[in-house]
Structure 1
C-alpha cells in the first residue's frame, strides 16, 4: 500500500525543494489555486503544484508519478493501473519545468514549521512525503484512469526530457 497524504484543506499540494522549505509561508501557491497542475518560481527554483480539488495524493517513485485518489474502495489496483496507463493514449502535456534534488510534497497552505514537524515525527496520517528526483527538465503529463467502474485515479507523471 502507498503512503497517502489524506487530502488538503487548501485543495493544492506543492512539491517544495527541501532547501526552500524553512522559508515556506503557505501563501506561495495562492495565485494558482484554481489550476490542476501548475508551477511557480521561488528563489530560482521551479515548484510543481497539483490541486484544484482536495483529493488524497501519493508519490510513486518508480514510474515518477503522482496519483490522486478520485474514488476507490482501496488502492490495491493502483500500481497495475499506473503501469497499464504508461503506454496508453490520452496523456495530456501540461507543462515543462526544471527539477532535481530532494523535495517535500505537502499541502501548499501549510507553513514550514508544520511540514517540518510532520517529517520529524512521522505522524499518521502523513502530512508530507519526501520525493527525490534526478536533476533535469521534466515534462508533466496528466491522465485520469478508471481501472474498473468503482475506481478512478488522476495521474501526473514526470517524463525526463
Structure 2
C-alpha cells in the first residue's frame, strides 16, 4: 500500500525543492490553484504543482508517477494499473520543467514549519512525502485510469527528456 497525503484543503500540492522548503510561506502557488498541473519558479528552481481538486495523492518512485485518488475501495490494484498504463494511448503532454535532487510533496498552502513538522513526526498521518529525482528535464504527462468500474485514479508521470 502506498502512503497517501489525505486530501488538501486548498486543492493544490507543490513539489518543493528541499533546500527551498525553509523559506516556503504557503502562498507561492496561489496563482495556479485552478490548474490540474502547473509549474512556478522560486529562487531559480521549477516547482511542480498539482491542483484543481482536493484529491488524495501519492508518489510512486519506480514509475516516476504521482497518483491522485478519484474513487476506489482501496489502492491494492494501483501499481499494476499504473504499470499497465505506461504503454496506453491517451497520455496528454502538459508541460516540461527542470527537476533534480531532493523534494518534498506537500499541500501548497502549508507553511514550512508545518511541512517540516510532518516530516519529523512519524506518529501523525503523513502531510508530506519525500521525492528524489535525477537531475534533468522532465515532460509531465497526465492520464486518468479506470482499472475497473469502481476505481479511478488521475496520474501525472514524469518522463525524462
Mapping 1:66-105, distance limit 5 Å:
66-105=66-105
Structure 1 unmatched runs, 5+ = none
User: Any idea what the Cα deviations from partners look like across 1:126-149, whole Å, max 9, x if unmatched?
Assistant: 000000000000000000000000
Cα distance in 2 for residues equivalent to 1:10 and 1:137: 28
User: Any idea what the Cα deviations from partners look like across 1:2-60, whole Å, max 9, x if unmatched?
Assistant: 00000000100000000000000000000000000000000000000001000000000
How far apart are 1:124 and its partner, in Å? 3.0
Cα distance in 1 for residues equivalent to 2:143 and 2:44: 29
The two structures have a TM-score, normalised by structure 1, of 0.99
Write out the 4+ residue segments of structure 1 that deviate beyond 2 Å after TM superposition.
none
Structure 2 unmatched runs, 5+ = none
How far apart are 1:122 and its partner, in Å? 1.9
Mapping 1:1-161, distance limit 5 Å:
1-161=1-161
CA RMSD between the two structures = 0.5
Aligned length: 161
> SS of the counterpart of 1:87?
coil
The two structures have a TM-score, normalised by structure 2, of 0.99
User: Any idea what the Cα deviations from partners look like across 1:83-113, whole Å, max 9, x if unmatched?
Assistant: 0000000000000000000000000000000
